[in-house]
Amino acid sequence: MVSRILQVICLLGAAAPAWGGSPCDAVSRDLPSERKAVLAPEIAKQLNVTSVDVLQSFTLGSWQIIYVNTHESDEPFLFYSGDPLKTRYVTMWSGAAGMDEEQEIRAWTLKNAPGIPRRLASCFAWHVTKARDQ
């Protein structure tokens, strides 16, 4: 009886992250102000705009998605396969997304950002469809 209870507890413990977590749990969202200040002028050059505000970042492995405000258009998410100071963005996405479009946006991300980690693509799709304010 005790061993059966322990099995159930272990099973519940293993399943807990799937219940309470999000696809972004393994993705770093930290971006210090100093790094934002360094990235902004380089990203502005890449977008051929006067300036940008770096709003958010999503990093997993060598990949990074950076959300910026150009003050000239809709805010784009820029997808980088390496350091944005050394590489140009691979693709960009902007606009609105419905809550029911998560799978389509994930598929778009995997297609248009070849090599992006699946976990990061899932995080991005979840973020823009279900957690845009987070």
pLDDT by residue (tens digit) across 56-79? 999 999 999 999 999 998 899 999
Domain ranges, residue 75: 23-130
pLDDT tens digits, one per residue of 23-64: 999 999 999 999 999 999 999 999 999 999 999 999 999 999
Whether residue 17 lies inside any domain: the answer is no
Q: How many domains does the chain have?
A: 1
Q: What is the pTM of this model?
A: 0.82
Whether residue 96 lies inside any domain: the answer is yes
Whether residue 69 lies inside any domain: the answer is yes
Whether residue 47 lies inside any domain: the answer is yes
8-state DSSP, 131: -
Contact 90, 82 (CB under 8 A): no
- Strands 53-60, 77-80: pairing is unpaired
Contact 90, 79 (CB under 8 A): yes
Whether residue 67 lies inside any domain: the answer is yes
Whether residue 11 lies inside any domain: the answer is no
